[in-house]
Structure 1
């Protein structure tokens, strides 16, 4: 395994992070435990979760993923071996059953306390805002359109003040963003620069994969110059970049088969690009999965690559991508496809 420091900390995290959002829906508690056992055995020390998981979100399964991680901590006594990240859900129609008050002080405190209890831990290493409160482009929205009905008022200072209190209390150690834009990222960073008593956002968890390299436009420069590390999620584009949906296939129990709403990586251009990436991988004696993950692993702005799996076979292949080095020639081939079919998925 390769390790990299979380920016502005002494914490070293594995370049592969174990994603967990299927546990409690597509995966049982026992399967979640098996995945954690295997991941730790392979050198992974970084887990990512959220109060929203498993997805799709549903009141009957609210925060079940955190409970599964908590029961594993209790069973194994391995909390001190893991760097743990979780997130507070933002405002949305599909989160009204959780709360509708956004990132107000009482909401942040309630969310952190709930996560600590479910995770059976006294502290969270990295606490993240799952998506912005304001109306902006995230979750498959390609371009920003200003919403005149959005009455969000800039509360970033107040959010950071509350997070600062939670850090002082020892309940969280560090803070990060997720599904954030260049404007939002810089706004948070500038606030903590001007007010040195406020905590600094150290990571940003956004989608990044061969079908969606939009992070490279604006955010990658911010990531490098401001030292805010990308925690890349959906590195396989909901599994599309494993090749299992090619030719219109709908494998049983696969995410897009079960939940067709998660189809932003399925389109004519995305399918064409996936086929070309598949051909390139085959020409270089690689699986598409390993090539796609190794590409994300190779990027200098990526602190950790969040992989997810519903089977042990998938998990083993995903983790083994850390052993793959892509040649300069192969990287040129990837860029040729990208230039011909740029970012076919939002």
Structure 2
């Protein structure tokens, strides 16, 4: 599996990452631990989680459970040094600490909570799940209105958080810093403010990116190349749409759609039309559509480690069979034609 550096952090990871947001809901403890074992057996040693996980659904009473499951694996196996571990501080969701969010006064306490649940004394990549000023991710781009933002308040907030995370980095509690669901303006400001206050420089940004969601391709791509920020792309299979399992009205039992009917706003007629075109393309070239969608991520002109999740060990095994695939220029050109014909399908 191809290795890439996370920003300028010196941390090397595979260009795929094991996502864990179903650990503790759709995936039980034994299955969760088996997935980490299988990933490591295939050379995939990068694992991403978050304070607010598991999802489907997010519930106040289960917040932190995924980290606990991973922590139990670390304690049981003693293999902390074998994995690169990324986690996040929750944003202002009412399900996470009553909507407290994070700030200079709370971030070190929140970090200690992550560390305690994970049963480790350091986190390789510590991320903030949402910018506290708001975000256009998760279909909010259609109605996004930043006019109420206060620039100086935002910069002061960033400075305070980064100063505290700088203390955590010096104490050895975190190695690198990243954001999630962030914009190009936000990323560059986090970088500028870090230089001003001596805080950790942003190494990664975790945003949605797939054949069906390509907002990252413009301003964010330019930011990533010039500022040396690695994309940790989430939902590279578009919450399962790109597998084809939801075509023609199908809703498999215990699937994400069976639990979350519209897939967070992704279930649209145009999405199914686009998926149909990608399925046809994969078939015409003798490719598995899952492997094609994942391999496309490594064809992009900016650095990516694609975070994928699997509910079952069989699903994980299937995905991993395509871990070294590279797409031909012909296939990537056809993908771009489909995207141009059916852009932004949700």
TM-score, normalised to structure 2, is 0.95
Aligned-residue CA RMSD (Å): 1.7
1:120-139 superposed matches below 5 A: 120-139=119-138
* 1:332 correspondence with 2:333: yes
Q: Quote the Cα distance in structure 2 between the aligned partners of 1:182 and 1:151.
A: 15
Deviations 1:237-294 (A, max 9, x none): 1111111001111000111211225342210111100000000000011121111111
The alpha carbon displacement at 1:149 in A equals 8.7
Aligned partner of residue 230 in structure 1, secondary structure: strand
Preserved contact between residue 5 and residue 303 of structure 1 (Cα < 8 Å): no
The equivalent of 1:4 in structure 2 is: 4
Deviation at 1:147, TM superposition (A): 5.4
1:232–1:302 CA contact under 8 A, matched in 2: no
Indicate how the Cα distance of structure 1 residues 219 and 198 shifts in structure 2: closer, same or farther if over 3 A, else same: same
Residues 7 and 202, structure 2, Cα contact 8 Å, conserved in 1: no
Q: CA deviation at 1:302?
A: 3.1
* Residue 322 of structure 1: how far off its partner (Å): 2.2
SS in structure 1 at match of 2:239: coil
| Aligned 8 A contact 2:270 2:345 in 1 | yes
Structure 2 equivalent of residue 232 of structure 1: 233
Determine the structure 1 residue equivalent to 2:186.
Answer: 184
Corresponding residue pairs, total: 342
Asked if structure 1 preserves the Cα contact closer than 8 Å seen for 2:60 and 2:95, the reply is no
Match of 1:110 in 2: 109
**Structure 1 contact 209–296 (Cα < 8 Å) conserved:** yes
Whether the 8 Å contact between 2:176 and 2:200 is mirrored in structure 1 is yes
| Conservation of the 8 A alpha-carbon contact between 2:54 and 2:62 | yes
> Residue 146 of structure 2 corresponds to which residue in structure 1?
146
1:66/1:234 CA distance change after superposition, 3 Å? same
Q: How many Å apart are 1:152 and its aligned residue?
A: 9.0
| Cα deviation, residue 311, structure 1 | 1.3
2:256 corresponds to: 255
Q: Which residue of 2 aligns with 1:267?
A: 268
Deviation (angstroms), 1:135 = 2.6
Question: What is the CA–CA distance in structure 2 between the aligned matches of 1:94 and 1:76, rounded to whole Å?
Answer: 31
Shift of 1:160: 0.7
Cα distance in 1, alignment partners of residues 12 and 151 from structure 2: 40
Does residue 1:311 correspond to 2:305, yes or no?
Answer: no
Task: With the length of structure 1 as denominator, give the TM-score of the two structures.
Answer: 0.95
Residue aligned with 1:24, SS: coil
Please name the residue that 2:163 is paired with.
Answer: 161
Structure 1 stretches of 5 or more lacking a match?
A: none
Q: Compute the displacement of 1:150 (Å).
A: 8.2
* Alpha-carbon spacing, 1:327–1:115, altered in 2? closer, same or farther (3 Å): same
TM-aligned CA distance change 1:136 to 1:36, over 3 Å:
closer
CA pair 193-140 structure 1, distance change in 2 beyond 3 A: same
| CA distance 1:182–1:58, change in 2 (3 Å) | same
* SS of equivalent to 1:86: strand
Partner of 1:51: 51
Deviation, 1:142, is 1.9
Alignment CA distance shift 1:136-1:305 (3 Å): closer
